[in-house]
Amino acid sequence: MVALMRAQLLISTVVVLGVLAASAPTFAHHGTAAYDTKNIVTVNGTMTDFRFINPHVQLYFDVKDEKGEVEKWQAELTAPNKLARAGWDKYTLKPGDSITASGYVGKNDPHTMWINKLIGPDGTSLHLFEE
């Protein structure tokens, strides 16, 4: 059951990426070489900080590992101008919010992520790109 859900998440993520890639200019403002772009990782976390600033909106959240210990994660999205046009503002996420983040993790620091898909505290997938 879990394997099926993971496969569905991966497939739907690839579909999202494929659709976005076909419809919008690829946004790679800074380098992707620092990230492992061959694998998509998904984690559940609790927000600790949310910075709605240029050049990239930054999310900070705690993830519990299998032992129950807390990992400190940092993740990023695109520019706030673009997210504002996708309906975001500086209050869209807050400390304490539960999120599920999927994306590429850093090669040198596996607790950094460039997010491709984000499920917010109400369980819905947040739009990550302007239309």
| 57 burial type by CB count under 10 A (0-12 exposed, 13-18 middle, 19+ buried) | buried
Q: Among residues 73, 80, 93, 128, which is the contact residue for other proteins, using CB under 8 A?
A: 80
Binding positions for other proteins, 35-64, rule CB under 8 A: 37, 53-56
Nearest distance, CB of residue 123 and other proteins, angstroms: 18
Q: Provide the 3-class DSSP secondary structure of residue 76.
A: strand
* C-beta atoms surrounding 93 within 10 Å: 20
Q: Among residues 6, 85, 94, 127, which is the contact residue for other proteins, using CB under 8 A?
A: 85
| Position 5 contacts other proteins (CB under 8 A) | no
Q: Among residues 6, 24, 70, 125, which is the contact residue for other proteins, using CB under 8 A?
A: 24
CA 95 to chain CA mean position, Å? 16
Q: How many residues bind other proteins (CB under 8 A)?
A: 37
Sheet strands (E) in 32-124: 41-51, 58-64, 70-76, 98-105, 112-119
Judge if the upstream peptide bond of residue 110 is cis by omega within 30 degrees of 0.
Answer: no
Contacts with other proteins by CB under 8 A lie at 8, 11-12, 14-15, 18, 21-34, 37, 53-56, 76, 79-82, 84-85, 106, 108-109, 112, 130
